[in-house]
Amino acid sequence: MSSMDKVWNVSINGKTDCVVMNDAEAMMVKIKFMPNITMYDMTELHGMKPEHLHKINRSEALEGDVRLMWMKHAIERNVLGGYPGTYVKECWDYKTLINM
């Protein structure tokens, strides 16, 4: 597996966030929360890069890029998966997910 960090859209029981993880970390999270998890590799699907997801500057980092603004709005409206009608925005990282 690659040690390259990627952006993963993670939905667990209706709670969703984008989390920066490598493939091994993503697999551990997926195994831990199965079957109540949906994950999408946003780096592969849409070219999102980890530097776009600094938690403090997330909205500022997305402002100038129309494609990334679409992704931000799609994630906020839960267009990309999860449990419709029960969407709750979270602020997770790998360590938080593993320790839940």
**pLDDT at residue 32 in the model:** 97
Q: Comparing C-alpha atoms, which of 37, 82, 91 is closest to residue 59?
A: 91
Write the pLDDT tens digit of every residue in 27-69. Answer: 999 999 999 999 999 999 888 888 876 654 555 555 555 556 5
**pLDDT at residue 49 in the model:** 85
Would the pTM count as exceeding 0.75?
Answer: no
Distance CA 72, CA 66 (A): 10
**Three-class secondary structure of residue 67 per DSSP:** helix
36: DSSP letter:
S
The overall average pLDDT reported for the chain is: 76
CA 76 → CA 2, 5, 7, 32, 33, distances in Å? Answer: 29, 22, 15, 24, 22
**pLDDT at residue 68 in the model:** 60
